[in-house]
A and B are shown apart, each in its own frame.
Chain A
Amino acid sequence: MRASLTIVLTAILLYGCSANIVHGPAGAADSGTGIRYYQSSPYLLVYTNSKGGLKWQILYLPDQTKKMIAQPKAFGGHSEMTLYFQNGVLTSSTELGDSTALPKAVLAAIQSAVPLLASAALAAEPDKVPAPSLYKLLIEQNTIHFYGGAGDYSITVPKLKTGG
C-alpha cells in the first residue's frame, strides 16, 4: 500500500512538472545540443553616392561573435515552445536588448563621425568607386567604438566623367 502511494505521489509530482528554454552563449567549441541563433548588433554602412557625398545607414545584422543556444528543458508535464527568427536572429525573445533603437544623441555622434570614417575610402583610383565601409558599433561606457573599415576592393563602374 505504501508503494502504491509512492507511485501516486510521484505521478502527481511529475504531472505538475513543466518545461522551460535556457538561452546561453554557444561558446567557442559550439558543442551544445540546442538551437543556434545569433544576437543582433548595430553596424554602420557608409559608401559614396558618386556625387561627392556619402550614403550611410545603420544596419542590424546577425552578430557572428554572439552565437547563442536555445536549449529546451522538458521533463514530464506539458510544454510548448515557439521561436521565431529573422536573418538568424531570434525575434520573439525579449532578450534582444541590442536591437533597440539607438538614442538620438548616439546617432548624431555616428553621423558626425561619418566623414572621418569615409575620407580614406574617397581617395579612389581612376574609374573606380571606393568600396563601402562597414563598422560595428559597440557602445561602452557612453562611448561609441567603431570596429571595421573599408572593403578590400574598389568597384569598377562605367566611365561617366566630367572635367573642369
Chain B
Amino acid sequence: MGHTKLMTLCLVSLLEAGCATVEVTKVTPQNRDTVAGVRYSLPKPFIQVIPQADDTLLVNVIMLPDSDNTYAIKTSSRWSTYSFQIALNPNSTLSAVEFKQDSSAVGQQLAATAGTASTQLYNMKIANAIATQTAVNTAQTAVDSAQSAYDAAAAQLNADKANGASASQLNTDSVAEQVKLAALNDAKAVLSRARSTTQVGNYTATAGTPVATTGPTPTTGSNSGFGPQTWSAPVEYELPDAHGAVLYAVNETLDASGKPVLLLQAAKLDGDPQPTFKVSSVASGPPLLTLSSTVVPKGTGSITLNFTQAVTSVDQCDLFSAAGTKVTGNAKCVASNGTANNGYTSLTLSLPTSPALSTGAYKLIVGFSYKNAADGSAKSAQASPVTITIQ
C-alpha cells in the first residue's frame, strides 16, 4: 500500500472519529460511586396534603428527585470543538441542556491541506522532470559535440590518405580519429544514463497554513435558561396541631395488557402516613381559638371550636347578634376534648334550636383559664371574638 493511500485512510478515519458526543448513563447502586458525569434525576410527583385549622385541606403537587431514575451526563469530543451547558433545578431535575459541536474545522483543514499537498506534489514532479530533461539536454549536446569532432577527425584522415600523406601523418590522423571516437562513445553513454536516471529537482516545500476556526458559543443571557440558578426559599406551612402533612406518592406502572395502574400511596414515616410530632407552646402566649370566623347552616345545634393549646376551663361564653344583643336561651359553651388533669383543647358551643337562631352574623366572646406554659401558673384570658354566620 502506497503511503498516499495510507495517508488517505488515516485522514478519513480521523474524520469519521471527528465528533462530540453526549452519553447518559443510568446511575445504579452498583455504579453510583464510579460512573462519571453530571447527575440529574427524573421527578417523582407527590400529592402533598396539609391539614388546615378550619378542617379544610391545602393540596398541592410537588416534584421530588427519583433516586431510581437518576442519570449521569458525560460529554466527550474528538477532533471537534464543542460547548455543553446544563441547568438543574434545585430538586436535581433537568431544566435545560445545550450541546453545540463543530467538527467542520477538521474537514476544512483537511481540504485545505489536501489541496496544498496536491499542489506541492505537482510542483515537485515538475521540478524533477525539468532536472531530468536538463541533464538529457546537456548530455545530448555533449554527444553532438563529440560526434562533430569525430566526424572532423575521420574526414582529416580520409583527406590525407587521398593526398598521399606520409605514413607518419596518416598515423597521427588515425590516432586523433580514435580519440574522438572514444570521446563520442563516452558522451553517448552519459546520454543513455541521463535518459534512464530520474533527476531530483531543486524544490522547497512550504508548510500549510492552519484554517482559522471559531468554537461554538454557549448561549448566555438572563432569558437563556443557563447561568447561575436562583434557588427560591422553601415554602413554610403552619399546621394547626401536632399532625403532620401527608405525602402521597403517585406510583404508576403498566399492567400486562398495557393499561395504566395508578396508585396514590401515602409515604410513611416510622410506619405512620401522618405522624405526630412534639410541639411546644412556650412562646405561644395564652391559648387562642384556631378560627376567627365560621359559617354554619341554620338549625345547627352545636359547633366545636379548637384552642391552640389546652385550657383548664371555659369561664365565659357570650353570643351577641350583629345588633349587639346578647343571645339568651340555651346558648352555652362546654370545654371538651380533654380531661381536668390534662386540660381541654376544644369547646363545644350549643346553639338554641327551638327556635333556631335566625340567619345573620353573630359574635362569640369566650373567656377561659389556662396554665402558663412558661411557669405553670394559673392564668385567665379572653379569646378574640369569633364571627359565626348562620345561613
Contact = CB atoms under 8 A, between A and B. Distances in A.
Contacts of B225: 84
A33 interface: yes
B262 A50 contact: no
B248 A75 contact: no
B84 to A, nearest CB: 10
Contacts of B339: none
A162 interface: yes
B183 interface: no
Interface stretch (B43-51, B132-140, B148-156, B278-286): B43-51
B47 A81 contact: no
B304 A37 contact: no
A35 interface: yes
B121 A1 contact: yes
B301 to A, nearest CB: 5
B97 A88 contact: no
Contacts of A65: 252-254, 260
Contacts of A78: 101-104, 216
A5 B5 CA distance: 11
Interface string A42-59: 010101111100010001
Contacts of A118: none
A76 B107 contact: yes
**Chain A: number of interface residues, binned into ranges:** 35 or more
Contacts of B337: 159
A162 B295 CA distance: 10
Nearest to A92: B96
Nearest to A160: B55
Contact of B20 (A74, A87, A161): A74
Given A1-B118, A12-B111, A159 B346 contact: yes
Contact of B47 (A5, A10, A151): A151
A45 B55 CA distance: 19
Interface string A1-40: 1011111101110110001000000000011111111100
A75 B107 CA distance: 12
Interface in B274-320: 274, 290-291, 294, 296, 299-306
A155 B250 contact: no
B26 interface: yes
Contacts of B186: none
B73 A134 contact: no
A115 interface: no
Contacts of B26: 30-31
B32 interface: no
A61 B250 contact: yes
A80 interface: yes
B207 interface: no
B189 interface: no
Contacts of B44: 64
A158 B53 contact: yes
Interface string B27-63: 0000000000000001111010101111111010101
Given A1-B118, A3-B4, A160-B306, A36 B300 contact: no
Contact of B303 (A10, A74, A162): A162
B114 A7 contact: yes
B266 A152 contact: yes
Contact of B24 (A14, A15, A36, A79): A36
B97 A7 contact: no
Interface string A120-164: 000000000101111110100000000111111101111111111
Contact of B265 (A6, A19, A86, A152): A152
Contacts of A135: 262
A160 B49 CA distance: 18
A33 B306 contact: no
Contacts of B98: 80-83
B48 to A, nearest CB: 10
A153 to B, nearest CB: 4
Contact of A132 (B16, B57, B94): B57
6 pairs of A and B residues whose beta carbons are closest in the complex? A148-B262, A15-B107, A153-B266, A153-B273, A7-B114, A11-B111
Given A14-B106, A147-B262, A151-B264, 14 more contacts: A32-B24, A35-B24, A45-B59, A45-B61, A62-B45, A75-B16, A79-B101, A84-B95, A87-B93, A132-B57, A133-B264, A134-B248, A157-B243, A164-B301
Interface of A: 1, 3-8, 10-12, 14-15, 19, 30-38, 43, 45, 47-51, 55, 59, 61-65, 67, 69, 72, 74-88, 129, 131-136, 138, 147-153, 155-164
20 contacts: A32-B24, A33-B24, A38-B43, A50-B56, A69-B24, A74-B19, A78-B102, A78-B103, A82-B98, A83-B96, A84-B95, A88-B93, A129-B51, A132-B57, A138-B260, A148-B263, A151-B248, A158-B53, A162-B296, A163-B303
